[in-house]
Amino acid sequence: MVWRAVTRPPPVLQLLGPSTGGIRRHVAHLADRLAERGWPVAVAGPAAVLDGLRPLDHVVEVPGVEASGAVLLPAVRSARCALAALVGDVGLIHAHGLKAGWVAASLRRRPPLVVTVHNLVLPEAAGAVTPVLRALEARLPERAGHTIVVSAEMARRFTGVRGAGRVRVIAPASPAQVPTRPVAQTRARFGVEPGQALAVCVARLHPQKGLDVLLGASAVLRGRLPGLRVVIVGEGPLEAELRRQASALGLDGTVIFAGPSPHAVDELAAADVVVVPSRWEGWPLVVSEALHLGRPLVATAVGGVPDMVLDQVSGVLVAPGDVLALAEAIGAVLGDPVAAGVMARAGTRLVAERYPPDALVDQVEAVYADALAAR
């Protein structure tokens, strides 16, 4: 893209909150690609937020919501002071998430602000503070110069609010990842023999991800597919509870809790079917990764998933929380490898056509140009 606001891009500060999984990977990728195009980019956020992805340039401890549901105002004020000390020479702030967005928006003096909203406020996640966070969410487009959302479903939440005209949908697509080890080696790690069915789910062990539904579906399938192995890659607060559920369902020989993986692309590439059983999502990168890898996919029709997947064409979509529907879909994919392969190849082709490698940075640069021109 030709930079159309100024001849030399100004310094940009990417600001994260306490993010996990796909959001932090998206920010690391975006920062690196912007730097390749000549943008002076720095990334700020909680101390460990980018561990293993790229160096963090500045520590700004943007707080999350406490387990009790409380938002600690002293932590918010501390983060705001730390951010204020950084923005003197910054030409634009790009905040990621509601909390980072409001910390940046609350500065008395600041450069133009762009906020990407990666997830909507939902009662299942926010709990007692849902009304407060919903109110902040609704007001954010007015306070931010420009707001990016990651799916059309999320854009609909902001219909009619002040600043809705400056809300833009940009898919946080990333380039295809390359596996680091042979498929046979990955399968052997889990004791999966050639010809044995392997389902893989890469997810944080959190209520959002619907892993209890996957365990229920695995119990249904165990009788139909005696050799089935289900590998769950990830860590999180529900691990002990999910392990107990798996044991109670008699799945100790079927389900493997593999823990976190530094290269989950290896587990995805080894799967006969990738399963994404989430109850809600913004834009799950694991879906686009599975499609890029040419893996058959079964996922719930939530968030940006239907934007990426055409049901029965490039994958199979089911309603969230439906154990039997998930089991039927997984069983159908594993039971017909030829049809599954056709869908997988269609998924690879469609995701490459819809989300080419440069589309993300091109569109973000256009938003930056508009934000700086409006200033």
At 286, list the tokens.
């694991």
Question: Same domain for 208 and 280?
Answer: yes
Question: Same domain for 170 and 303?
Answer: no
CB atoms under 10 Å from CB of 48, counted, come to 11
CA–CA separation, 12 and 35 (whole Å):
10
Whether 71 maps to a domain, the answer reads: yes
Whether 2 maps to a domain, the answer reads: no
∠ at Cα 310 (307, 315), nearest 5°? 115
Q: Give the whole-number percent of the chain exceeding pLDDT 90.
A: 74
CATH number of the CATH domain containing 245: 3.40.50.2000
Q: Give the amino acid at 267.
A: E
Whether 266 maps to a domain, the answer reads: yes
| pLDDT the model gives residue 133 | 83
Question: Same domain for 102 and 213?
Answer: no
| pLDDT the model gives residue 32 | 94
Question: Same domain for 93 and 231?
Answer: no
Pick left, alpha or beta for residue 163 (phi over 0 → left; psi -120 to 50 → alpha; otherwise beta): left
User: DSSP state, 311?
Assistant: B
Question: Same domain for 203 and 131?
Answer: no
CB atoms under 10 Å from CB of 201, counted, come to 27
| pLDDT the model gives residue 331 | 98
| pLDDT the model gives residue 1 | 44
| pLDDT the model gives residue 149 | 95
Question: Same domain for 158 and 85?
Answer: yes
Whether 4 maps to a domain, the answer reads: no
The pLDDT tens digits of the residues spanning 275-332 come to: 999 999 988 999 999 999 999 999 999 999 999 999 999 999 999 999 999 999 999 9
Question: Same domain for 313 and 298?
Answer: yes
Whether 115 maps to a domain, the answer reads: yes
Residues in the chain, pLDDT under 70: 1-7, 65-72, 124-126
Rounded-to-10 torsion of CA 145, 41, 16, 320: 80
Query: Which of 183, 112, 120, 121 is closest to 153 using CA atoms?
Result: 120
CB atoms under 10 Å from CB of 313, counted, come to 12
Question: Same domain for 143 and 73?
Answer: yes
pTM, 2 dp: 0.87
Whether 127 maps to a domain, the answer reads: yes
CA–CA separation, 42 and 298 (whole Å):
37
Question: Same domain for 18 and 46?
Answer: yes
Whether 7 maps to a domain, the answer reads: no
> For the chain, what is the domain count?
2
Range of the domain at 151: 12-174+357-374
| pLDDT the model gives residue 358 | 87
| pLDDT the model gives residue 21 | 72
∠ at Cα 367 (365, 370), nearest 5°? 110
Helix axes 98-105, 73-84, angle to 10 degrees: 60
At 236, list the tokens.
């999180």
Question: Same domain for 166 and 192?
Answer: no
Whether 6 maps to a domain, the answer reads: no
Question: Same domain for 262 and 330?
Answer: yes
Question: Same domain for 209 and 261?
Answer: yes
CA–CA separation, 284 and 201 (whole Å):
12
| pLDDT the model gives residue 5 | 47
